[in-house]
């Protein structure tokens, strides 16, 4: 009788343990839709060609004829400008622009984000949208930089077009060509530095998100209580 009671109690304990077991399953989430992936890789190619060819022009050091370098620089620059316009259009049509909005709540997370990047905090602060405040500021600066580089490049390329455009004509009178070239050079260096930082953080913080820029999907854990 005692043995039967102990067996019954043991069976009940096993049942309780089974109910408390947490099983882990995985679910695939679409993180980057195809339009975003197209934008990313076209921008990577065009911006890389623009920066490299621009630095070759600035340093007057060419492995190929300068005429060819200028052609690559101008063509890649217009492709980068066009794909940025495409991304802006997609952001507003899909509502994705909300992920880039910068609000006061984002700035409140900046101290904790800085501590995380300086290895003074184990986990990053909770995200209000898809991107943190550092990513939002960086992407906004890239947008402004690409727009500036495009329009100032047009000013240096075609003086007759600039003279017929009132806004560009006024801007050309305020900024001398040598200052334009200097500013364009330092903005290119800024792009190089921030892109290298972006690559480092993307591959060290969460490699799964970096891989999803190829496939679009990321695999995450989902806990189920059985």
Q: How far apart are CA 148 and CA 142, in angstroms?
A: 10
Burial of 120 (0-12, 13-18, 19+ CB in 10 A): exposed
Positive or negative, the Cα torsion across 57, 185, 146, 112?
positive
Global model pTM greater than 0.85: no
Q: What is the pLDDT of residues 102-117, one digit of tens each?
A: 999 999 999 999 999 9
The total of other beta-carbon atoms located within 10 Å of residue 133's CB is: 22
Domains and CATH numbers, the chain: 32-221 (1.20.950.20)
Q: What is the dihedral of CA 201, 205, 207, 213, to 10 degrees?
A: -50
Q: What is the pLDDT of residues 131-159, one digit of tens each?
A: 999 999 999 999 999 999 998 888 887 76
Q: 29 - beta bridge partners? A: 218
Q: Of all helices (H) and strands (E), which one includes residue 25? A: strand 22-30
């Amino acid at each position: 009788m005692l043995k039967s009671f102990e067996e019954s109690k043991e069976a009940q304990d096993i049942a309780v343990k089974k109910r408390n077991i947490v099983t882990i399953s995985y679910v695939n989430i679409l993180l980057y839709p195809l339009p975003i992936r197209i934008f990313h890789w076209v921008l990577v190619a065009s911006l890389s060609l623009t920066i490299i060819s621009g630095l070759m022009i600035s340093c007057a050091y060419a492995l190929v004829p300068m005429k060819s370098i200028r052609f690559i620089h101008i063509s890649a620059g217009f492709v980068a400008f066009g794909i940025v316009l495409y991304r802006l259009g997609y952001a507003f049509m899909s509502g994705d622009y909300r992920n880039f909005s910068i609000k006061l709540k984002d700035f409140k997370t900046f101290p904790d984000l800085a501590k995380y990047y300086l290895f003074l905090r184990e986990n990053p602060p909770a995200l209000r949208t898809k991107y943190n405040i550092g990513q939002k500021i960086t992407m906004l600066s890239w947008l402004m930089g690409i727009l500036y580089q495009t329009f100032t490049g047009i000013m240096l390329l075609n003086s007759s077009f600039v003279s017929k455009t009132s806004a560009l004509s006024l801007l050309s009178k305020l900024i001398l060509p040598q200052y334009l070239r200097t500013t364009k050079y330092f903005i290119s260096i800024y792009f190089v530095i921030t892109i290298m930082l972006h690559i480092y953080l993307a591959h060290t913080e969460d490699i799964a998100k970096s891989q999803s820029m190829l496939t679009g999907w990321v695999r995450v854990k989902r806990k189920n209580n059985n």
